[in-house]
Chain A
Amino acid sequence: MKRAAPAGHGNNCSSSPEERHKGSKGEEIPQQYFKGMAMDRIGILEGRERQVLEKNSGVAQADIACDTSSLSGSVSQRACVFCGSRVVLYPVADAIHLVHGPIGCAAYTWDIRGAVSSGPELHRLSFSTDLQEMDVIYGGEKKLYKSLIELIEQYKPKAAFIYSTCIVGLIGDDIEAVCKKVARETGIPVLPVHSEGFKGTKKDGYKAACHALMKLIGTGSTEDISKYSINILGEFNLAGEAWIIRQYYEKMGIEVVATLTGDGRIDAVRRAHGATLNVVQCSGSMTWLAKEMEEKYGIPYIRVSYFGIEDMSKSLYDVAVKFPDRPDIMEAAKQIVSEEVKTLYPSLQKFKKALTGKKAAIYVGGAFKTFSLIKALRSIGMSVVLAGSQTGNKDDYARLKEMCDEGTVIVDDSNPVELSKFILEKGADLLIGGVKERPIAFKLGIGFCDHNHERKIPLAGFIGMYNFALEVYQSVMSPVWQFAPRKGGSL
């Protein structure tokens, strides 16, 4: 297998630097634009300049500013604290998820993710206390209590997660007390998730969700758990991805104690502290949990990514290395990689041939995914002209900068105006993002690959790499773009 070029320099993309300086219709863009930062021409909002940079090794560049909250009036692609908590806990399928607040927060998150379950499907139901004006005035505790008792009676869940929304943070409902009372009366864990929308960013929501999970971990029996065991953290089983990954590890002879939270089960979470190693994917959401588990239970963790051949293979090797007394585990990992790549590699060549020289823009939730996507795109001949995330941290952006080619635009917490300007000016053929980015790409006549929570096709694992390449190919190579104005079509 041909390995992707080392990060940062000399990628295997055939487009020359000159080509990259062509605008959307092939017209020359003045060179001075590429010398400095790109912002002057783009009308970046005051206060956002430091969240955008164009990689230029010739000049000293300040670090990108991140970890800030979104600017008022900027149309951020981010969500809120509640959203962060909701996405992390959503796949736990045998718990009820009750959103305490007015109806919107529950309605907009009803069955919207592709996180699938092999058994119970309580996570696909939407429960809300649907607070009304009188509840806001007099408090929602009684309604919350009644709702919980009834829902637990009706659905017999293994646990209940109670999400506080903005308004609950204001009216001062004592959620903790209600949860304790209901837990006592029903005998199941009833866990408050402090996810008031305005109390931070999506990342704080991740943390609130992890905090709730931490309360469960350590409450189950770890008997019979093998020494050769892991938890998979930050894998949400979108389109069954956790099953694919789990299968690889099990083939290697490793026991997967819990996937957090894909195809999640309360009992599995309870005994997660019995695993020997935590394997963290989607670092943005779950690193905090891994660190807590390391501190409390002494379980080390590694960060992995299951996207692309290179990172997928590495995520198997990195786990095998942690069990040096069992060389057969490493052998099995090598065997899996070799077998998978043997079928996968030839099947990718058709795509690579067609896609070589095409340019991609990436704007996703977490920065860690961006690294994998850059490598995966390079392996099918594409270069990356824009890379960014909603929630990356300083280290992520430093690494991103190192990985990217000269002239790549790097953004934190971007908005549609910025994204589309860069996409057009850099002549991207593809945008990778989520549902909010999709119409931007299609309006501008650019291919799109959905790499977010709603997708129905697995993109993780070796088979996922094939699906990814296929999807990119199908979108970028479609003849429909001939009618797009950027290709000379009429407006």
Chain B
Amino acid sequence: MKHEHAKTATQNACKLCNPLGACLAFRGIENCVPFLHGSQGCATYIRRYLISHYKEPIDIASSNFHEETAVFGGSHNLKIGLKNVSDQYKPDVIGVATTCLSETIGDDVPMILREYKKEFKNGSPMPILIHASTPSYQGSHIDGFHAAVHASVKALAEKMPWQRLINLFPNMVSPADLRYLKEILEDFGVPYMMLPDYSQTMDGGPWGEYHRIPPGGTPASAIATAASAMASIEFGSTIEASKSAAGYLDVMFGVPAYHLPLPIGINGSDKFFSLLETLTGEKRAEKYEDERRRLVDAYADGHKYVFEKKVILYGEEDLVIAMTVFLREIGMVPVLCASGGKSGLMKKRIAELVPDMDELGIKVREGVDFVDIEDDAKILQPDFLIGNSKGYTMSRKNNIPLLRLGFPIHDRFGGQRMHHLGYRGTQELFDRIVNTVIEQRQNASSIGYTYM
């Protein structure tokens, strides 16, 4: 669909920048401080943005570039910064992510880190230094997320004897999702290494004193065992091979990699549970059968509300792909599947999972912003929008209800506790979708029905 005006600038972006994703992923490693090699503003803006969603303090250190740093290179600042963070935070790990600034001046971060380790080896205990390359002029926040996960595995995983262990790379999902995934793995009785795990660091309890680094996260020692696992499961449909942690472990250490779309919907969740059954040789616990039964029952109870409802879906590509499949499973039509991301794979992946997408008139657009989506919405006339909070502007302006999920949720409470994955997450999503339709009908009715 052509924009009614020529359009070069990005207007109301449907993506964030690369370093944000890296900071979040590093927050999922135990006793790790995310560190941005760039200007102070990057760290501060990203902190602010994450805080508004997770409602948790998040310290992100910065090498705090000045003019002379930009001219002479960031080596000196980076080293001082690492020393200061090491002294004050006493971290096990510092996750260094670059920015457009440090990438453009061409700082050789791996070399600087090697030098630092040599220069300061006699000082305080040396944290593990992980470096992820995350220039903001490439990709979007999800690329930074995967880059940090990949870099962590690459830095830490080492050859060890095979053990009964499953690696799980869950993608950028909510703390509630992460907790649910851990529960599932625990119920299967299989040791696991999930990375990242910010279920506690980004959604924790009260503190008696300030924690420089909040408790929780995947220990570095656990990441080290990733190479000895019997399998890796990676959720996602568009992760580049060069950024796939599961792919890395497969190629380097022969750990079989299983790539699944995010397990949303019954079919999606079945695939995940079946894979776990195959890998562990165990049956799923009865409670998951129950969750599934309740979900099937709920589908029956609610099917008429949602059938052939038209939806515009937007967000990270992997989330949009998984949601598309789920919506098809309940009879809804995602008339537009949109993302600010640009993997070049979204359409292909959706076509694989929804073979009749063309007949149904499902459009897929990568690299779009909210103005593009809004232009399409005017023509497609969806019943509602599904995506993060940033679609609210468009929702309000065009009077299209918005069902919020994913990240960021800046205008509702509890985004960090929202489930999306598995039978439990699907149940929550389905209930919310049905309720959106009911509420819309109730409001539109002049009668004011008290039961619908």
Contact = CB atoms under 8 A, between A and B. Distances in A.
Given A133-B135, A435-B48, A78 B40 contact: yes
Nearest to B13: A107
Interface in A445-461: 445
Contact of A102 (B81, B100, B205): B100
A78 B82 contact: no
Given A102-B136, A125-B12, A128-B9, A483 B206 contact: yes
Contacts of B140: 103
A440 interface: yes
Contacts of B41: 79-83, 105, 197
A82 B42 CA distance: 10
Given A71-B64, A73-B84, A436-B44, A166 B210 contact: no
B44 A78 contact: yes
B51 A435 contact: yes
Interface string B1-36: 000011111111101111110000000000000010
Interface centre among B18, B44, B99 (most CB of A within 10 A): B44
B63 interface: yes
Contacts of A483: 206
B359 interface: no
A130 B42 CA distance: 16
Contacts of A79: 40-41, 44-45
A20 interface: no
A425 B312 CA distance: 51
Contact of B44 (A76, A128, A143, A171): A76
Contacts of A200: 66-67
A127 B346 CA distance: 25
Contacts of A415: 59
Contact of A169 (B42, B45, B70): B70
Contacts of A124: 393
Nearest to B140: A103
Interface string A391-430: 0000000000000000000000001110011001000000
A72 B81 contact: yes
A444 B56 CA distance: 11
| Most chain A beta-carbon contacts within 10 A, residue among B12, B40, B99 | B40
A130 B9 CA distance: 7
B46 A108 contact: yes
A103 B135 contact: no
Contacts of A442: 55
B9 A101 contact: no
B178 to A, nearest CB: 19
B61 interface: yes
Contact of A130 (B13, B55, B56, B78): B13
A228 to B, nearest CB: 40
Given A104-B19, A128-B13, A199-B67, A45 B136 contact: no
B249 interface: no
A127 B101 contact: no
Contact of A72 (B47, B57, B80, B101): B80
Contacts of A132: 137-138
Nearest to A44: B88
A170 B210 contact: no
Interface residues of B, number: 74
Given A81-B41, A147-B8, A443 B207 contact: yes
Nearest to A72: B81
Contact of A77 (B16, B39, B44): B44
B70 A75 contact: no
A154 interface: yes
B65 interface: yes
B82 A416 contact: no
B208 A127 contact: no
A415 B89 CA distance: 12
A101 to B, nearest CB: 7
Nearest to B6: A150
Interface string A97-111: 010011111111111
A105 B57 contact: no
Classify chain A: how many residues form its interface, as a range: 35 or more
Q: Among B10, B41, B393, find the residue whose CB has the most chain A CB atoms closer than 10 A.
A: B41
B62 A135 contact: no
A83 B104 CA distance: 21
A487 B81 CA distance: 36
Residue from A71, A130, A489 having most chain B Cβ neighbours under 10 A: A130
Interface string B193-213: 000000000000111111010
A69 interface: yes
Interface string B106-147: 000000000000000000000000000001111010000000
A484 B60 CA distance: 25
Contact of A439 (B7, B15, B55, B69): B55
B10 A127 contact: yes
A127 B11 contact: yes
A43 interface: yes
Contacts of B62: 70, 72-73, 75-76
- Most chain A Cβ neighbours within 10 Å, of B11, B55, B87: B11
B122 to A, nearest CB: 17
A45 B52 CA distance: 27
B77 interface: yes
Given A72-B80, A440-B57, A484-B206, A170 B138 contact: no
B365 interface: no
B105 A103 contact: no
A62 interface: no
A435 B212 CA distance: 18
B49 interface: yes
Most-contacted residue by chain B among A78, A104, A105, A127 (CB, 10 A): A104
B43 interface: yes
Contacts of A489: 206
B83 interface: yes
A104 B38 contact: no
Contact of B210 (A76, A78, A420, A435): A420
Given A101-B100, A127-B11, A72 B39 contact: no
Interface in B244-297: none
Given A72-B81, A80-B41, A98-B9, A435 B104 contact: no
B83 A128 contact: no
A105 B45 contact: yes
A486 B208 contact: yes
B8 A143 contact: yes
Nearest to B137: A102
A484 B206 CA distance: 7
Contact of A45 (B8, B87, B208): B87
Nearest to B7: A150
A111 B66 CA distance: 28
B65 A198 contact: yes
Interface string A113-132: 00000000000111111111
Interface of B: 5-13, 15-20, 35, 38-49, 51-52, 55-67, 69-70, 77-78, 80-85, 87-88, 99-101, 104-105, 135-138, 140, 205-210, 212, 390, 393
15 contacts: A72-B64, A76-B62, A102-B17, A103-B13, A110-B390, A126-B12, A130-B9, A132-B138, A133-B135, A147-B8, A417-B88, A439-B51, A442-B55, A444-B206, A491-B208
5 closest Cβ pairs, A-B complex: A80-B41, A104-B17, A73-B84, A73-B81, A420-B210
Given A80-B44, A103-B17, A153-B6, 11 more contacts: A46-B87, A72-B64, A80-B42, A108-B46, A124-B393, A132-B138, A171-B104, A436-B44, A439-B55, A444-B206, A491-B207
